[in-house]
């Protein structure tokens, strides 16, 4: 009886093994027939029997991590690509002259500094809004991308985008310049809409004056929240109304640079579970000069949950125009497939204030089978305020909120 049982068990295991091998062969042939790629240009590491177990394990892990990237690259090779640069726009911008043009800074004169509005506007905004009022809404920017970016082609067919900008007590000219930079430097066929979400602002200029200006713009609309919701719920309100395939979240004090959109959304077109951040440049709060922050960094955090920037890996630095994996986003500016955003559950609506949302969304992206990358060829300038003029950081960041809840409860 025991011999017969062992024979039956061996037979069953053998049959299962044979079916498994047949499944693998069929699956491989189907993939090969559907994707007739040329693998001759892919380097494969040779087997080295002298490798340590750790080296073999590390190679296996790397292979798994990069297998999706390889598939995307192979698919990418079969698709038509074009040059998305608007050379007429570039020529017009290069010909512009005046205050702030070419992303240059505007130094305040002694007369400016003696104007009572100079100090008042700085205190009200945390940056030099007096200088903002002097600069054209349509000012030109210097193209500070790496030279390799200027030669890159991107997919001819890309998804349409909805750009969501929460607004709370923003300075009007700074907000309008943000909108104009998007409209001027974004391919019209890719832009579905710009959605401003007014989070119950009190400034008069953000009511009638803003409405009048928007009425003269294309593809721009405003949603007004009648009760203060905070950054996260304001973003969610915009996302729920968005019509585009891709959601792009921006702050209300930015300026996009030349050809910023195609490199930002191409990785999403190749894999909808990829989320992408642009390189964030600096618009100096003192004089509105547009400068590079650096040539890239990886996002991280310390155990106090403060966002940190780590140097790039050597492999990333060797390919300055290629998107690279990023553990954690900075949070203010990024693109994500609308489908993937809602599959992740969107943002947690319990997030009351800014400062922790980038960890929540970054962790969900990675832990749910997605990928987060930075796109070096997509450059967006951002004003970093000297201070938060709406209550102060000490009362509005996530760490203080946690401490407050611990004391109260």
Question: What are the Cα distances from residue 166, in Å, to 219, 248, 364, 380?
Answer: 16, 12, 22, 17
Confirm whether 13 is domain-assigned: no
Mean pLDDT on 57-75: 53
Residue with tokens 């809409």: 193
Query: How many folded domains does the chain comprise?
Result: 1
Inform me whether the pLDDT recorded for 40 exceeds 70. no
Residue 290 pairs in a beta bridge with 283
Confirm whether 213 is domain-assigned: yes
366: enclosing H helix or E strand: helix 357-367
Per-residue pLDDT reduced to its tens digit, 354-368: 678 889 999 999 999
Angle at 175 between CA 401 and CA 173, to 5 degrees: 125
Q: Lowest mean pLDDT: which of 2-16, 52-66, 203-217? A: 52-66
The domain of 334 spans 83-393
Q: Lowest mean pLDDT: which of 198-207, 252-261, 298-307? A: 298-307
Confirm whether 6 is domain-assigned: no
Total count of residues recorded for the chain: 409
CATH, residue 271: 3.90.550.10
Residue 167 pairs in a beta bridge with 198
Confirm whether 2 is domain-assigned: no
Separation of alpha carbons 362 and 227, rounded Å: 28
Say what the pLDDT of residue 310 is. 86
Say what the pLDDT of residue 123 is. 97
Confirm whether 227 is domain-assigned: yes
Per-residue pLDDT reduced to its tens digit, 202-258: 999 999 999 999 999 999 999 999 999 999 999 999 999 999 999 999 999 999 999
Confirm whether 163 is domain-assigned: yes
Say what the pLDDT of residue 141 is. 98
Inform me whether the pLDDT recorded for 393 exceeds 50. no
Confirm whether 26 is domain-assigned: no
In this prediction, residue 264 has a pLDDT band, given cuts at 50, 70 and 90, of very high
Alpha carbons within 13 angstroms on the beta-carbon side of residue 74 total 17
Say what the pLDDT of residue 68 is. 59
Confirm whether 373 is domain-assigned: yes
């Amino acid at each position: 009886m025991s011999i017969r049982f062992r024979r039956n068990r061996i037979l069953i295991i053998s049959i299962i093994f044979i079916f498994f091998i047949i499944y693998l062969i069929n699956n491989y042939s189907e993939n090969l027939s559907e994707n007739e790629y040329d693998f001759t240009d892919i380097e494969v590491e040779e087997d080295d029997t002298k490798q340590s177990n750790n080296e073999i394990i590390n190679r296996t892990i790397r292979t798994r991590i990069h297998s999706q990237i390889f598939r995307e690259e192979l698919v990418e090779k079969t698709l038509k690509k074009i040059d998305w640069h608007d050379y007429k726009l570039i020529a017009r911008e290069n010909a512009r002259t005046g205050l702030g043009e070419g992303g240059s800074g505007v130094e305040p004169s002694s007369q400016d500094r003696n104007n009572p509005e100079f100090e008042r506007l700085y205190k009200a905004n945390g940056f030099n809004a007096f200088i903002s009022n002097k600069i054209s809404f349509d000012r030109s920017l210097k193209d500070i991308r790496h030279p390799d970016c200027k030669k890159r082609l991107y997919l001819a067919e890309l998804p349409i985008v909805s750009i969501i900008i929460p607004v709370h007590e923003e300075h009007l000219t700074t907000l309008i310049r943000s909108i104009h930079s998007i409209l001027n430097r974004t391919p019209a066929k890719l832009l579905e809409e710009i959605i401003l979400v007014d989070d119950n602002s009190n400034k008069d200029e953000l009511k009638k004056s803003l409405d009048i200006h928007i009425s003269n713009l294309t593809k721009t609309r405003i949603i007004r929240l009648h009760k203060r919701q905070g950054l996260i719920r304001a973003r969610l309100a915009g996302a729920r109304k968005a019509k585009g395939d891709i959601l792009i979240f921006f702050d209300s004090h930015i300026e996009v640079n030349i050809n910023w959109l195609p490199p930002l959304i191409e990785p999403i077109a190749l894999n909808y579970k990829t989320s992408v951040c642009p390189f964030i440049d600096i618009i100096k709060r003192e004089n509105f000069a547009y400068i590079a922050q650096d040539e890239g960094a990886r996002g991280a955090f310390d155990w106090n949950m403060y966002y940190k920037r780590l140097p790039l890996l050597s492999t990333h630095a060797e390919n300055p125009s290629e998107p690279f994996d990023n553990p954690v986003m900075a949070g203010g500016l990024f693109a994500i497939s609308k489908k993937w955003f809602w599959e992740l559950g969107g943002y947690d609506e319990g997030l009351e204030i800014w400062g922790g949302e980038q960890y929540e969304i970054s962790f969900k992206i990675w832990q749910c089978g997605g990928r987060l990358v930075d796109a070096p060829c997509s450059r967006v300038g951002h004003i970093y305020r000297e201070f938060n003029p709406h209550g102060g950081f000490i009362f509005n960041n996530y760490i203080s909120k946690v401490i407050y809840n611990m004391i109260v409860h």
